Chain A
Amino acid sequence: MTPHTRPDSPAGDAVEIVRVRKEFGAAVGVADVSLTVGRGEFITLLGPSGCGKSTLLGMIAGFVTPTAGKIIVDGVDLTEVEPYRRDIGMVFQSYALFPHMNVFDNVAFGLKMRRLPKAQIEAEVRRAIEMMKLTGMESRRVRQLSGGQQQRVALARAIVIRPKVLLLDEPLSALDKNLRAQMQVELSDLHRKTGLTTIFVTHDQGEALSLSDRIVVMNRGEVQQVATPIELYRTPANGFVASFIGEINALPKARYERAGEMAALVLPGVGRLTAPARAQWSFNDGAEVQAFLRPEQVRPALPGEAGANLLTGTVAAHIYQGSHTITRVEVPGIGLVETRVTGAEIISAHPVGTPITLSLDIGEAVLIAA
């Protein structure tokens, strides 16, 4: 199958969102968001519900009119263009398949609206159906399809029109866990095969991390950070991003002190945690900072281990996950700290209610000015 890249597509960015704003009465749904999406890029809008990601997607599709700002696709300002003249494909959360049409007619709808010759419609629809592994189901009613199959029909229907951009509005949220994992793989296959510029909306950080070239983290209508999944996980820009992406321990606010090559965090009532200073820790001496540590950056101390970054607390709970165990430890002055270790030994070695000493890898922590 030939890639769906449009031969007429000009060079440059596929989508430019310029200071787009949407107000609903007094409430601000999207607050002056600017974003460029490269051609062929898979970009994810990630955030909790109500963060404005779906509103932003609706504005790109043309269903929501921005209060201010511009939406430019392939160099053309589409802000005032009707949805049906935009050539933007979209997969809806509910799939929104036409219940009164069979699979073939659902997929053919966009091409029929474009008044293509019958033979061409037939050929293109067959290709899309084949690509989405729906061959043999052309005459099925959409009600007779499983969730995964409906998902594929929705995708086939959106890509068959060779859209300039493909929008995916939480398309996996209605599927069960196994199917979701499978569809993630298929989405990324589809993206590789078609090379379509894709904007994916989700509140599931796992989906975002595994699928995206770049992730746009949104909260309360504002963009918090735009970065690759790895950057986002390793160097979150702020506390919101740090806590939204993956599991993380947020330590209480601390005073940052710098002494030569060493940095220290002074936690009132707890003590000093130290580590070799890192380049990105450009805080003034005495600045107030907050440290974020992934559970894998916290481990039970070895017997007889001594050092600066040890904290003692009481085991509050073990959450056994098969390959690893997450242990919650109540540390006086800090609160619950999660540690993540391989295997299940920790459960018998440190029963719930017994004391445990934890070693914190402060050198890997994310420090954010508080």
Chain B
Amino acid sequence: MTQRRPFFITFLAPAVLTAVILVAAMFEVLQYSVRAFIPGALDVGGFTLDNFTRINRPIYWWVMLDTFYISFLTAIFSLLLSYPVAFALVRARRDWVRSLLVSLSITPLFTGEIVRTFSWMLMLGSDGFINSMLRKLSLIDMPLQIMYTRFGVVVALVQFSMPVMIILLATAISHVDRDCEKAAANLGASPGAVFWHVTLPLTLPGILSGIVVVFAWTMSAFSTPQLIGGGKVLMIANLAYLQGFSVLNLPFAATLSLIALVSALGSLVLMKSATSRIEKRLAIA
């Protein structure tokens, strides 16, 4: 009997091609990272590990820590703001409320990152919407400095990551067995207690994966910190850009990219193992 090739093999070709090119590019970055920098030239020199020893300076460590910190804050605030939206989205009784919430939370995904970031610049600037409103209401005399601060960057990144967080949370919330909530109420739990003891623990897998995804996503953020941070808030991608395209030190930019990639993957692995341990403890994998 001859075995027939599964029909979908052909359709995998584009994916395989993309993967091959991506891996090749990664190797090129790896290759660049161990080359010597020749100032004033785009060509690179011979093999060296200087780029990696250069990383070990406080300024670069700070950028790394800042990147982690901003990513962490973004994940947490995104979670706090998205949970109520996701909850309402799943549980709203009226169809139109659900549809409205779905379209409100999904549409940002269809606007480009630059467009969204630019809108935030209009919102957050010294003469931006927030500052002029606050001044009109005589709540402040001097404009608040929001642009070019970590706060401003986090605000924009949170809004940027909320659609994904909402989708992940809504999925988790929709999988909660409503009978479990009814059973808890039947056993004497007030609505708040039902949420705290049943709904929240049962949506924990969604919460954790939301945090992991948004964290990893924010780690690689570039244009938002670039435009809103304006060089005053540096995340690792901005530092790599600075080195590669301002100083034209491509080898060091490659090293930074590599470090960013490794630390992002490393933190993902760490978080994934932590999540699966928590989930195992709760027996809700």
Interface residue ranges, A against B (CB under 8 Å):
61-63, 82-90, 92-94, 96-100, 109-110, 113-114, 141-143, 157-158, 161
Contacts and interface: CB of A to CB of B under 8 A. Distances in A.
B177 A94 contact: yes
A61 B194 CA distance: 16
A114 B186 contact: no
A143 B283 contact: yes
Nearest to A87: B188
B253 interface: no
B197 interface: yes
Interface of B: 177, 179-180, 182-191, 193-194, 197-198, 201-202, 204, 282-284
Contact of B180 (A86, A88, A96, A114): A96
* Closest 3 A/B residue pairs (Cβ): A110-B187, A96-B179, A113-B188
B197 A83 contact: no
A161 B179 contact: no
Given A92-B183, A94-B177, A100 B284 contact: yes
Contact of A141 (B185, B194, B283): B283
Nearest to B200: A100
Contact of A113 (B187, B191, B202, B204): B187
Given A100-B282, A113-B193, A89 B186 contact: yes
A106 to B, nearest CB: 9
A94 B283 CA distance: 18
Nearest to A160: B187
Contacts of A113: 184, 187-189, 193
B184 A100 contact: no
A145 to B, nearest CB: 12
Contacts, number: 78
Nearest to B178: A96
A88 B197 CA distance: 20
Given A94-B177, A100-B283, A84 B189 contact: yes
B284 A90 contact: no
A30 to B, nearest CB: 18
A114 to B, nearest CB: 6
Given A94-B177, A99-B180, A114-B188, 16 more contacts: A82-B185, A84-B187, A90-B183, A92-B179, A98-B183, A98-B184, A100-B282, A109-B184, A110-B188, A113-B187, A113-B189, A143-B283, A157-B183, A158-B186, A158-B187, A161-B188
Contact of A99 (B182, B185, B283): B283
A177 to B, nearest CB: 24
Contacts of B194: 84
B186 to A, nearest CB: 5
B174 to A, nearest CB: 16
Contacts of A96: 177, 179-180, 182-183
Contacts of A99: 180, 202, 283-284
Contact of A90 (B177, B186, B198, B202): B186
Contacts of B202: 99-100
Contacts of B198: 98
A109 B284 CA distance: 18
B182 A83 contact: yes
Contacts of A157: 183, 187
A62 B282 CA distance: 29
Contacts of B283: 99-100, 141-143
A61 B184 CA distance: 12
23 contacts: A61-B182, A82-B190, A84-B187, A84-B193, A87-B188, A88-B186, A89-B187, A90-B183, A92-B182, A93-B179, A96-B177, A96-B180, A96-B183, A97-B180, A99-B180, A99-B284, A100-B201, A100-B204, A109-B197, A113-B187, A114-B188, A157-B183, A158-B187
A233 B41 CA distance: 100
B148 to A, nearest CB: 44
Nearest to B282: A100
B193 to A, nearest CB: 6
Contacts of B190: 82, 84
